[in-house]
Amino acid sequence: MIARPTPDGPAPLLRLRDVRKTFPTGPGRRAGRRTVLDGIDLDVDEHRCVVLVGSSGSGKSTLLRVVDLLEDVDDGQVLLDGVDVADPWVDADAVRARLAMVFQSYNLFPHLSVLDNVTLAPRLVHRRPRSDAEDAGRQMLARVGLADKAASYPDQLSGGEQQRAAIARALVGGPELLLLDEVTSALDPELVGEVLDLLLDLRAEGTTMLVATHEMDFARQVADEVVFLHDGRVHERGTPAEVLDAPQRERTREFLRRLR
Ligand SMILES: Nc1ncnc2c1ncn2[C@@H]1O[C@H](COP(=O)(O)OP(=O)(O)OP(=O)(O)O)[C@@H](O)[C@H]1O
């Protein structure tokens, strides 16, 4: 992808401007609305890893879901390489081809082999011939260290292996931006390391990532930039050392204190 040049250098791959999102507080027309994203401004430059942290309910997943077109926005712009994906008239399939999301629960199809899970979208959505999709799928499984698991089924894999298969599935279409929502939260502590190592490799290779996590050690290791969300707003941002070791704002300090 060629980033659009600006007078200040290449534009960010992803740029959120004053993004607002509310949800109904309950069923029925009389329900009020709760603000979940309250004017988010956020940039993700190409080849950077930005990690969202914040209390439960601060809006991390909603923000990722907005970028992935799983939620619409009430207001604001979500610019992917200059294209506003929040525009209802956008070509959603074209946008989705440029993004991939990995979830906490790996969401692999249990009745499909690992290779079939990884090649499902290339074959069915992108209409790639089976042999071509399988070549790409095997390459990606080798990339995540699962070359020998292509014929296995998800329930024959550990949690860490299933999550790596889910990451292979996300990467097989060559997305420009990888969205990762709590990808280590469901894993036993001893399995977190293998997923973290994979993400560190991807980062070293220049994969652009936007990540939500509860785990500060994970954020510290993988992030170029940490963004602390509070009540749907960007409250503090900076390098992991700035935000996690020397936070400037009291709410950030309080959030980090509560985790200890
Ligand atoms: N579809 C929905 N309908 C109504 N409220 C929702 C919906 N999705 C999310 N919310 C609410 O929006 C708020 C933000 O949720 P979100 O999942 O984005 O937070 P989060 O920071 O990712 O939290 P967690 O760390 O627990 O995953 C929460 O109060 C949640 O209950």
Q: What is the mean pLDDT of residues 56-64?
A: 95
CA nearest ligand 1 atom 31, residue: 57
Residue 9: band (very low, low, confident or very high) from pLDDT cuts 50, 70, 90: low
Residue 129: band (very low, low, confident or very high) from pLDDT cuts 50, 70, 90: confident
Q: Is 240 in the pocket of ligand 1 (CB under 6 A)?
A: no
Neighbours of 2 (CB within 10 A): 7
Q: Is 23 in the pocket of ligand 1 (CB under 6 A)?
A: yes
Query: Which of 225, 218, 202, 208 shows the shortest CA–CA distance to 67?
Result: 208
CA nearest ligand 1 atom 2, residue: 23
C-beta separation of 9 from 62 below 8 A:
no
Q: What is the mean pLDDT of residues 155-183?
A: 94
Predicted structure pTM score: 0.92
Confidence (pLDDT) at 192: 86
CA nearest ligand 1 atom 6, residue: 23
Confidence (pLDDT) at 16: 97
